[in-house]
Amino acid sequence: MKYVVVSGGVLSGLGKGVTASSIGVLLKAAGLRVTSIKIDPYLNSDAGTMSPFEHGEVFVLDDGGEVDLDLGNYERFLDINLSRDNNLTTGKVYSKVIEAERRGDYLGKTVQVIPHVTDAIQDWLEEVAHRPADGSDQTPDACIIELGGTVGDIESSPYVEALRQFQFRVGRENVTFVHVSLVPVMGPVGEQKTKPTQHTVKELRGLGITPDILVCRSSQPLNDETREKLAAFCHVQPEAVMSTHDVPNIYHVPLMLQEQGLCAILGVDCESTGLMDEWRTMAHHLDTLTEDVHIAMVGKYTDLSDAYLSVIKSLQHAAMAVDKNLVIDWIEASHLEKEWNTDRPEEFNHAWNLLNNADGVLVPGGFGDRGVEGKILAAHHARTNKVPYLGICLGLQVATIEFCRNVLGMKNANSTEFVDNPEQAAVVFMPEISTTHLGGTMRLGSRPTLWQVDSCKIRSLYGDGDAVDERHRHRYEVNPDLIDEIEAAGMVFVGKDESGQRCEIFELNDHPFYVGVQYHPEFKSRPHRPSPPFLGLLQAASNKS
Ligand code: GLN
C-alpha cells in the first residue's frame, strides 16, 4: 500500500481536496486501485449536524454516512464508493478510545493523546485504506489521506503527530507527503511571494514531517525563480514544486500536475491506461461549449455555492452530455415572496426576472422554513408555464404542497416541518425518525425505489431494471393518506419504496418535464455518467433554450 498524505498550510480554501483527488486520478491513470480518507479534526462525530454555512454541503454515502464534501470530490474524480469510515473526525477517534477505556482495554494505564489517540488514528487509517472501494473485492494499491484544516491548528496536532509516526509504521518509502500552500502574487509587476510557504513548511518540518512535494496555489504559473527559491528554502527538489494556477475548469488540474512531471516524482506512468486521454477530452469539451442553458437554482444558501456543490457538479455533468454551457442563475427563494416586493422591490424583480427567463428550474434539498413559500412559488411557476422542473427532496415536498394547494384546492396545505398541525398536512414527519436526537437519525443512505409504472419519462432515463438505488437524507415524506387523491389529479408517484407506501419519485402528466425525487441523485452523478434526473432536466431545458 502506497500512501499519499496531503496537508495544507497558510489558509483554508486552497483547493486541497481537488489537489488530493487529482493526485488520485494520476495514480489511477497509472493502473493503481485508489481509495481515500479525509481527516476532519473537528470534534463533531460527523458532518450531519453542521449547517452548510460551516463547511458547505453535507455529502451522503451509500451506507448513510454524512460526511465532508471532499468525499464527493473523491467519489466523482476516482469513480469509487466510500464508506462513513473514510471520513475520520476527532469525535469518532475519541469515541473509540473512550469506549476502549471503558471496556478496560488499556489495562490500568493512563490514557493519553500520545500514544493512545495517535495509535487509534494510525490503526484507523491503515485498516480503512485496505478496504475495497472500486466495486471489486480487491484491496486498493494506494490511499490518498487528506488532512483537513491548516497545519499548526491545535486540533489537527494529534493527526500531524500520528502521520509523523505513520511513516515509520508503514515504511518511509511507502508514504509521500504533499503540502498545499499559497503563493500570492503582489505589486504592479506581479511578484510571486514565497514567504507564506516558507513559514508553513518550517512549521510542518518542526512537527517532524518533511514534505516531498509542494503544491502551490497561485493565480499565475510559478516562474523558475520562485520554484528554485521554494526548493532551496523548503528542502524539496525544484522538480517537486508544483503550481496549481487558475484554469478554466477543474478537470484541468490532474492534467496540469501531469504536465509538470508529478507522475515521474510519484514513480508511476500515468499514460499506461487511457484515463488521461479521457480527462483531456473532458477538460477540452467543457472549455469549448458555447450555447448557454440557464438553470434557475432556487435555494437559501445561494451566496455560498459549496452548500450545493454536488448539485452544481451534477448539473455540469448533465450539461456536458447535452453539449451546453451551463449557466446557473441563483435565486434566493425568499426574494420571490410577495413581502419582498414591499421591502426590497429591486431584489424581488431581479429574482422573478431570472425565474421567468430560466430554461429549467431546480429546487434542491433543504431544511427549515426560510424561503419555503418562495420555493412553492417557483414550483408553481414551472408547473403552470410548463418550464422543466426538478425538485430534489425538499424540492419534491414543496412541489407536492403547491399541487395540493392549487390543483386540489387545499388552500392551507403545508408540511409539518414548517407549521404545527397544518389544516391539510401534505408532508408529514416519518414515524420511525427520532424526535430527541438529530445526529445520524434521518432516513439516510442508499435505499431502493421500485417502479410503479411500466413507462414514464424518468423511468426511461434510468434505463433497465425494476429498481433505482439512490441516497437519501430526510425526515419528512408525502402524506401517504393523500396519495390517491394527488395521483387522481395527474401527479403520479411513479417510484415508491419497498413498502409501496412511501413516495420516492413523482412525475406530472402533460408537462415536458416536471419531476420530484425524495432522494438526492446528486450524490451518485459522475462526469461520464450524468445522473438521470439531471440529464432529464437538462435535455428538456435545452429543448427550450
Ligand atoms: N427538510 C426535509 C426533510 O427532512 C427535506 C430534507 C432534504 O431536502 N434533504 O424531509
Distance 474 CA to ligand 1 centre (A): 4
Distance 312 CA to ligand 1 centre (A): 18
Say if ligand 1 is within 6 A of residue 443 CB: no
Whole-angstrom Cα distance, residue 277 to residue 283?
10
DSSP for 151-215? TT-TTTHHHHHHHHHHHHHH-GGGEEEEEEEE--EETTTTEEP-HHHHHHHHHHHHTT---SEEE
Task: Name the residue at shortest CA distance from atom 1 of ligand 1.
Answer: 367
Catalytic residue set: 393, 520, 522
Residues 24/36, Cβ–Cβ less than 8 Å: yes
Coil, helix or strand at residue 237: coil
Say if ligand 1 is within 6 A of residue 394 CB: yes
Say if ligand 1 is within 6 A of residue 364 CB: no
Say if ligand 1 is within 6 A of residue 396 CB: no
- The alpha carbon torsion through 431, 402, 301, 369 (nearest 10 deg) reads -50
Low pLDDT (below 70) residues in the chain: 544-545
Coil, helix or strand at residue 488: helix
Q: From 367, 418, 517, 523, give the residue whose CB has the most ligand 1 atoms within 8 Å, as the site to mutate.
A: 367
pLDDT of residue 12: 84
pLDDT of residue 499: 92
Say if ligand 1 is within 6 A of residue 474 CB: yes
- Tell me the three cell numbers of residue 502: 412511501
Whole-angstrom Cα distance, residue 213 to residue 216?
10
Say if ligand 1 is within 6 A of residue 417 CB: yes
Say if ligand 1 is within 6 A of residue 476 CB: yes
Q: How many CA atoms lie within 13 Å of 199's alpha carbon, on the beta-carbon side?
A: 10
pLDDT of residue 55: 83
Residues 354/333, Cβ–Cβ less than 8 Å: no
Distance 405 CA to ligand 1 centre (A): 20
Three-class SS of 443-471:
EEEEEEEEECCCCCHHHHHHCCCCEEEEE
pLDDT of residue 242: 96
Axis-axis angle for helices 252-259, 275-287 (nearest 10): 120
pLDDT of residue 51: 87
Say if ligand 1 is within 6 A of residue 475 CB: yes
Distance 394 CA to ligand 1 centre (A): 5
pLDDT of residue 343: 85
How many other C-beta atoms are found inside a 10 Å radius of the C-beta of residue 507? 22
Residue 267 backbone zone (phi > 0: left; psi -120 to 50: alpha; other: beta): left
Say if ligand 1 is within 6 A of residue 458 CB: no
Task: Name the residue at shortest CA distance from atom 8 of ligand 1.
Answer: 365
How many other C-beta atoms are found inside a 10 Å radius of the C-beta of residue 509? 11
Say if ligand 1 is within 6 A of residue 367 CB: yes
Atom in ligand 1 nearest the alpha carbon of residue 368:
1
Distance 29 CA to ligand 1 centre (A): 38
Q: From 447, 476, 523, give the residue whose CB has the most ligand 1 atoms within 8 Å, as the site to mutate.
A: 476
Q: From 394, 444, 472, give the residue whose CB has the most ligand 1 atoms within 8 Å, as the site to mutate.
A: 394
Distance 366 CA to ligand 1 centre (A): 5
Coil, helix or strand at residue 243: strand
Distance 397 CA to ligand 1 centre (A): 8
Q: Which residues touch 178 (CB under 8 Å, ≥6 apart)?
A: 4, 5, 6, 7, 19, 20, 23, 211, 212, 213, 214, 215
Whole-angstrom Cα distance, residue 406 to residue 123?
57
Residues 87/71, Cβ–Cβ less than 8 Å: yes
Residue 226 backbone zone (phi > 0: left; psi -120 to 50: alpha; other: beta): alpha
Distance 522 CA to ligand 1 centre (A): 14
pLDDT of residue 305: 76
Say if ligand 1 is within 6 A of residue 524 CB: no
286-311 in b/e form (b: 16+ CB < 10 A) is beeeeeebbbbbbbbbbeebebbbbb
